[in-house]
């Protein structure tokens, strides 16, 4: 195995370098991951690349950014297990789900935008071998799973008329999960015509509506106790105050908030009488298990969140596609030239 590798590092706003680093050695319960593919976390990547912190947009970003950061949505194979590992072994396919693990996820070596990383085995979840695009976005699926576990427990999906606002990668996963849980209908809401058309063409949603278009304006307002509502349960994957307000005005029973909110949503108390508004509950081990069941049993297809595949050195081009909203997630793959 090679002793060094090429790692992406953001060295300043809109500037990257491919630096050479040693391949780390696993210790104790750590494992060495050979990365197969990693996808962008669009908001996180774009903020850091532009020199803006995230999700706390009022903080500062120090450059050079830690090597391999902020990459964290990936799939890989365990090439070497530390002497004290008990949960995983060499050859296992793994993802990092978030919401679990011990200590720093990347204690020795780079984060995800690198061919290799060392992690504590409790930070990982074993996944079945599948095409890389179906596994690389797994971490985002565990994020959405936290909302879904709550909604299932509240009997807010099966047989219900549902809606998702924001048909980016998160909305694509959320809509698929709603359908997998037996929603009677899944309506997709997005300002972007291409995203609406994509969600419809892939069968992700049953209907696609522009919330500020004529179809969105004509959607009936919520009425408490309405026997025939258009939307009973909705999921916010946009985070904009206007998007949240739209769901509140048109959802009869429950609005679940997933996306990082970009400012406060203001509404009058009378408009939410009888409506449940659920904040993001946070990920845990159950979220990872839920997402694993969805992916392993082909109940959702995470590859639908990916629009482009590139080499890691083309990261700036990928971020420009994201900034101009010409892409969903971008997948970066690795081969022998990376080490």
Averaged confidence pLDDT in the chain: 93
Question: What's the pLDDT tens digit per position in 79-103?
Answer: 999 999 999 999 999 999 876 565 6
Q: Is pLDDT at 107 greater than 90 in this prediction?
A: no
Domains annotated on the chain, with CATH: 4-129+301-338 (3.90.180.10), 140-278 (3.40.50.720)
Burial class (CB within 10 angstroms; exposed 0-12, middle 13-18, buried 19+) of 52:
middle
> What is the DSSP annotation of 130-163?
--GGGTTTHHHHHHHHHHHHHHHHTT-STT-EEE
* Residue that wins the pLDDT comparison between 14 and 284: 14
pLDDT given for residue 99 in this prediction: 62
Closest CA to 171 of 95, 238, 73: 238
Question: What's the pLDDT tens digit per position in 16-65?
Answer: 999 999 999 999 999 999 999 999 999 999 999 999 998 887 889 999 99
Kindly state the tokens that stand for 26.
């696993």
Portion of the chain with pLDDT greater than 70, in percent = 96
pLDDT given for residue 339 in this prediction: 55
* Residue that wins the pLDDT comparison between 283 and 15: 15
pLDDT, average across residues 304-315? 97
pLDDT given for residue 142 in this prediction: 96
pLDDT given for residue 72 in this prediction: 93
| Exposure on the CB side of residue 64, measured as CA atoms within 13 A | 14
Under the banding of pLDDT at 50, 70 and 90, the label for residue 169 is very high
pLDDT, average across residues 242-262? 94
Under the banding of pLDDT at 50, 70 and 90, the label for residue 2 is confident
pLDDT given for residue 88 in this prediction: 97
pLDDT given for residue 58 in this prediction: 81
Q: Residue 155: CB partners within 8 Å, gap ≥ 6?
A: none
Under the banding of pLDDT at 50, 70 and 90, the label for residue 331 is very high
pLDDT given for residue 262 in this prediction: 79
User: Strands 306-310, 329-333: parallel, antiparallel or unpaired by DSSP?
Assistant: parallel
Task: State pTM to two decimals.
Answer: 0.95
Q: Which single residue is written with the structure tokens 């790692």? A: 7
pLDDT given for residue 284 in this prediction: 86
pLDDT given for residue 338 in this prediction: 61
pLDDT given for residue 14 in this prediction: 97
User: 175: part of which helix (H) or strand (E)?
Assistant: helix 169-180
């Amino acid at each position: 195995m090679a002793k060094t590798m090429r790692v992406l590092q953001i060295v300043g706003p809109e500037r990257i370098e491919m630096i050479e680093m040693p391949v780390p050695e696993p210790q104790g319960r750590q494992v060495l991951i050979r990365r197969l593919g990693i996808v962008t976390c669009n908001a996180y990547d774009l903020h850091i690349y532009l020199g803006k912190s995230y999700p706390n947009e009022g903080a500062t970003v120090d450059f050079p950014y830690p090597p391999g950061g902020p990459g964290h949505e990936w799939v890989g194979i365990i090439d070497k297990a530390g002497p004290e590992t008990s949960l995983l072994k060499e050859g296992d396919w793994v993802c990092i789900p978030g919401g679990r693990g011990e200590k720093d996820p990347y204690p020795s070596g780079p984060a995800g935008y690198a061919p290799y990383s060392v992690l504590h085995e409790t930070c990982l979840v074993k996944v079945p071998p599948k095409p890389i695009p179906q596994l690389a976005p797994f971490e985002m699926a565990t994020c959405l799973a936290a909302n879904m576990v709550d909604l299932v427990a509240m009997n807010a999906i099966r047989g219900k008329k549902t809606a998702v606002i924001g048909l980016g990668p998160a909305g694509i996963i959320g809509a698929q999960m709603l359908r997998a849980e037996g929603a009677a209908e899944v309506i997709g809401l997005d300002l972007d015509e291409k995203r609406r058309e994509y969600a419809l063409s892939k069968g992700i949603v049953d209907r696609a509506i522009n919330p500020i278009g004529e179809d969105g304006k004509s959607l009936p307002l919520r009425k408490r106790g309405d026997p025939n509502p258009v939307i009973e349960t909705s999921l916010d994957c946009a985070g904009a105050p206007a998007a949240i307000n739209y769901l509140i005005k048109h959802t009869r029973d429950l609005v679940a908030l997933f996306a990082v909110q970009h400012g406060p949503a203001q509404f009058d108390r009378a408009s939410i009488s009888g409506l449940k508004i659920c904040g993001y509950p946070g990920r845990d081990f159950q979220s990872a298990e839920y997402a694993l069941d969805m992916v392993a049993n082909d109940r959702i297809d995470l590859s639908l969140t990916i629009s482009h595949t590139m080499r890691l050195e083309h990261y700036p081009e990928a971020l420009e596609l994201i900034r101009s909203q010409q892409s969903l997630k971008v997948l970066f793959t690795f081969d022998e030239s990376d080490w």
